[in-house]
Structure 1
């Protein structure tokens, strides 16, 4: 099965498992687990940074699979903060070349981050996926992860 087909299959699986689930935490935990297992070992760290309702310009670590993550990331800082500030997904082939990269784990070499919007279109979180490989992510990954994140809170 090619990667695009695998993402379509995973989206269907995630949508099915979280359908009707009222806990956002359970939705994020399910998605991070399914994605991490499906693309292991390429997905070294897979998880969510959630907009803190008490500090609305900060992300706080949410459910994830992998090594210890950063606890908080201000909007505009690092790759996740960049996506939180811009609302646009990003692929970073070499995190060491990204200005202001936050090294939560020095084993990470490339990264993809996708925004997660709530039912009203507001930023709720970002999905962050890291790899120990350089240039591990491409347009197929971006399209697949964006499609999953588009319905993650509404399925």
Structure 2
């Protein structure tokens, strides 16, 4: 995967299929949760255009706590139900926000972020974290992104075993 930057994808779907296949290859046989979330965040960062943050928050002690990510420093604690991440965790439903400035209670960790997608990570229908991706571009994420990033999150849910402290 050293020359990944040189690969040209015919479509967004082709990019995501490659990314999801690569994720499965990266994490399917690695038991360490921290290594897996770190590689997942790095893969998103490496392959996705027009993003300024990609990573995870893990559910710990009743709140979301910053996990592995790529991008600028971020908020370290997010209450369930607050902001886009907290809303995704509370509702257990993907939040696709075309303009974060119109999202009630948006938490601006990076003032350059204009759109965001957050996918809850669930194990046995219990929240264990969220996948969060931000973009400086308004309307960056669409239904195709949602569909394939939910598949990405399902791969994470299948292979990443968080320590009991997080569940």
Asked if TM exceeds 0.5, the reply is yes
List gaps (5 residues or longer) in structure 2.
1-9, 160-167
1:59 matches 2:64: yes
The separation in 2 between residues aligned to 1:84 and 1:20, in whole angstroms, is: 27
1:114 matches 2:119: yes
Name 2:101's counterpart in structure 1: 96
Q: Secondary structure at the match of 1:153?
A: helix
Q: What stretches of structure 1 move > 2 A for 4+ residues in a row?
A: none
Residue in structure 2 matching 1:130, options 125, 130, 134: 134
Name 1:49's counterpart in structure 2: 57
Deviation at 1:129, TM superposition (A): 0.3
Name 1:32's counterpart in structure 2: 41
Q: Secondary structure at the match of 2:157?
A: coil
Alignment TM-score, normalising by the size of structure 1: 0.93
Q: Is the 8 A contact 1:24 1:153 kept in 2?
A: no
Which whole-Å deviations, capped at 9, do the CAs of 1:59-114 have from their partners, x for residues lacking one?
A: 00000000011000000000000000000001101101100000001010000000
List gaps (5 residues or longer) in structure 1.
none
Deviation at 1:19, TM superposition (A): 1.0
Aligned residue-pair number: 150
Q: Secondary structure at the match of 2:137?
A: coil
The separation in 2 between residues aligned to 1:133 and 1:2, in whole angstroms, is: 19
Name 2:4's counterpart in structure 1: none
Name 2:7's counterpart in structure 1: none
1:154 matches 2:154: no
